[in-house]
Amino acid sequence: MRRYPVKAMAGEDLQEVRVTYAGLVGDRVYAFVENENRSSFPWMTGRLGHEMILYRPRFVTAPAATEAHPPAEKYATEVTTPEGEAFRLEDLRFTRHLESRFGRPLHLRFSERSMQDACPVSVIGLRTIDALGEEAGLALDRRRFRANFYVEWESAEPFYEDRLVGRTLEIGEEVAVVVVKKDGRCKIITLDPETAAPAPQVLETVARHHGGCTGVYASVLREGIVRAGDAVRAA
């Protein structure tokens, strides 16, 4: 399981997390927005500045999975730059740092309901990542795909999750989601999560052989707590 406190920045692995109708608590609750962007996609992401994915945010005191409605202070966040300098996220000096680095006027946005691109939850099979790496001729770090749930299906079939569109998945003892659609991909999956170096062949392979999609999006039907290693069952 993985969440991303700041949209477009590095994520963090989780041992347990509360999943609500808005997604994983703490997932993409912050984002930097381009001041002059009036489009439907105003976010500052690795599409515009590859090194954005190298910034490492962490909640100073992370929301506990048992907290249904975490107080505002549980979302206090510190970010470490690729060079190792630490900032509090809300510090205007950090915004100025990003503006200087990427050459764009920005402002910080917060929403407890998260700011995903499409649906509250994303899922991908580990075998899918392995198979795509074989096709692209490159060992692929799973973090490239920025999913919430990385699943080892009982089926060894690559891209097995594509067959689950329209079906309900029960995750652990409490959570249920419905798979809504395949996950259309962009250049972010070409970026190495450790260096931000691009490998265009990854997206080219997805476009050529898989209709531009890898993994799936889901909406939450039933809220609850999920723990790493919980079973995922297709209903």
Residue 68 has pLDDT above 90, yes or no: no
**Minimal CA–CA distance to 19: which of 170, 215, 226, 173?**
226
Instruction: Work out the average pLDDT over 59-65.
Output: 94
Can you give the pLDDT at residue 154?
Answer: 94
- pLDDT tens-digit profile of 6-26? 999 999 999 999 999 999 999
Per the CB < 8 A criterion, the answer to whether 176 and 170 are in contact is yes
142 SS3 class = helix
- The per-residue pLDDT for range 120-141, each reduced to its tens digit, is 999 999 999 999 999 999 999 9
pLDDT at 136: 96
Measured CA to CA, the distance from residue 141 to residue 217 in angstroms comes to: 20
* Strand partners for 17: 226
Mean pLDDT score, 142-160: 96
Domains, the chain, in order of start with CATH, read 2-110 (no CATH), 121-234 (2.40.33.20)
pLDDT value, residue 169: 98
Predicted confidence (pLDDT) at residue 82 exceeds the cutoff of 90: yes
Average pLDDT in the chain? 96
What is the per-residue pLDDT across 173-192, written as a single tens digit (0 to 9) for each? 999 999 999 999 999 999 99
User: What span, in angstroms and rounded, lies between the C-alpha atoms of 51 and 12?
Assistant: 17
The average pLDDT across 32-37 equals 94
In this model, does residue 54 exceed pLDDT 90?
yes
The residue among 58, 96, 102, 59 whose CA lies nearest residue 80 is 58
Band (99; pLDDT cuts 50, 70, 90)? very high
- pTM of the full predicted structure? 0.95
pLDDT digits (tens, 9 = 90+) for 202-224: 999 999 999 999 999 999 999 99
User: By three-state DSSP, how is residue 202 classified?
Assistant: helix
pLDDT for 235: 85
Percent pLDDT > 70 in the chain is 100
pLDDT of 92 reads 97
Q: Where are the alpha helices (DSSP H) in 88-165?
A: 92-102, 126-136
Please report which confidence band the pLDDT of residue 59 belongs to, taking 50, 70 and 90 as the band edges: very high
40 pLDDT higher than 90: no
The H or E element that residue 80 is part of is strand 77-80
